[in-house]
Amino acid sequence: MEETKAIKVSNLGKRYTIGKQKNASLRSTLSNVFKSAAAKGDDFWAIRDINFEINRGDIVGIIGKNGAGKSTLLKVLSQITKPTTGRIEINGRVASLLEVGTGFHPELTGRENIYLNGTILGMTRKEVKEKFNDIVEFSGVKQFIDTPVKHYSSGMYVRLAFSVAAHLEPEILIIDEVLAVGDAEFQKKCIGKMSDVAAEGRTVLFVSHDMGAISSLCTKGFYLEKGTIIKEGPVDEVVEHYLNSSTKGTDLIKKYKEFAFNEWDEKVVLHNVKLINEQKEEILNATIDQTIGIQVEFEVLDSKGVYPIPNIHISNSLGGKLLVSIAPNASNQFSSKGKHFATAWIPKNFLNNNYFKIGVAITTFSPFQVHVSDYDAINFEVLDSDLNSNFRNGYVGKIDGLIRPDLYWEFENND
């Protein structure tokens, strides 16, 4: 493999057998010798026919829906799981952070686990000692560094595990969605640290459902579906392909099923959230020059102490928050028992040509209580319109930005 390459994968596959009996008796084991392989269980390929090359210094984002094979791929690359088929060539030491509970010995203290991981990576005790203070400071667990990690919370565990993996200078750093366990501030620190690692010429593989983090951090992307890579290339192109695939057809509208209670409380139930036009007809997407409404249908089951106020959250498809709108003077409007409808109208020539996500919450503000919420209620696309020619004034290229308001312009001439 060329020196510029960090990882090369050829025809990689991992097969599991579903339904195969474990802890079988000697009699059944001997009996199975004479049965066909098919009789022992069904084969399931978690990943199959995977081929790619990753250069040194690449930051690769791996995306896909749950069950697409992302975690299996990382486990195989980390040599935690043995592949069924194919070949992996790795140029350098690998440190991985895949799931809470892996990589550390629970009976050892944080300090002892730091040195243990350094030894596994082939570092001397002196080399680890030089990095020790940086590791502890970054993790924020100094007070508990001499406590066995089995007593750590999941957040503390992840903070220390990431800090160890990032600071012990492996040539290849592999990170799964486990960072979601940490708080927002620590996640931001981790993103910055991974960027620093790549700037030093090391390689990062990163799995996340946070498209904003993937887009801001990574340079290259892999989109997995049903165990195979269906799109790879520049990360922005891969993310766009994934989002387009995820929001087609009926996936654009997420509806709520009728139910008697919800996970937040038993006072308010959210029944439906939909995108509508000015005629109050349900639509899947909109054009820039179209006024659209976000209609929220909910039911108050117990009105005692409940003054529900609907609010909507509009984000771009990468999770970047655009705005929050709270229904004005609504606390008494919806305080009675029964079904209610609230619609937030978004004026035409406001949202730009883009993909958007609508979140909804029903809240009593005094005393504060979120009765029910869903921050991924609707995903839809705003399309450009040929009727918007006055706004474009002859320009035919892409206009950046999340909003495209029709602003008032004033002109003056100095004669």
What pLDDT is stored for residue 262 in this prediction? 39
> Which residues of the chain carry a pLDDT beneath 50?
22, 24, 30, 33-39, 248-263
Selected from 3.30.70.120, 3.40.50.300, 3.30.420.280, 3.40.30.10, the CATH number assigned to the domain covering 5-246 reads 3.40.50.300
pTM tops 0.75:
no
Report the candidate in 252, 335, 250 with the shortest Cα–Cα distance to residue 286. 252
Residue 66 and residue 226: Cα distance in Å, rounded?
Answer: 10
What pLDDT is stored for residue 390 in this prediction? 67
What pLDDT is stored for residue 20 in this prediction? 54
What pLDDT is stored for residue 321 in this prediction? 83
Q: Give the pLDDT confidence of 346-370 residue by residue, as tens digits.
A: 999 999 988 898 999 998 887 888 8
What pLDDT is stored for residue 249 in this prediction? 39
What pLDDT is stored for residue 189 in this prediction? 80
What pLDDT is stored for residue 183 in this prediction? 61
Element of type H or E holding 231 = strand 228-234
Question: Where exactly are the structural domains of the chain?
Answer: 5-246, 253-392
Q: Pairing relation of β-strands 292-300 and 268-276?
A: antiparallel
What pLDDT is stored for residue 80 in this prediction? 86
Report the candidate in 179, 177, 176, 316 with the shortest Cα–Cα distance to residue 240. 316
In the numeric block, the tokens 């179209």 are attached to 290
Q: How many helices (H) and strands (E) does the chain have?
A: 9, 17
> In angstroms, how far is CA 369 from the centroid of its own chain?
27
| Non-local CB neighbours of 34 within 8 Å, separated by 6+ positions | none
Q: Give the pLDDT confidence of 162-180 residue by residue, as tens digits.
A: 888 888 888 998 988 766 5
Assigned token pair, 342: 């609230």
253-392: CATH topology is Coagulation Factor XIII; Chain A, domain 1 (2.70.50)
Query: Which residue type sits at 311?
Result: N
| Non-local CB neighbours of 228 within 8 Å, separated by 6+ positions | 47, 48, 49, 50, 69
| Non-local CB neighbours of 82 within 8 Å, separated by 6+ positions | 76
Residue 22 and residue 365: Cα distance in Å, rounded?
Answer: 54
- DSSP letter string, 287-348: ETTS-EEEEEEEEES--TT---EEEEEEEETTS-EEEEEE-TT-TTTT-SSEEEEEEEEEPS
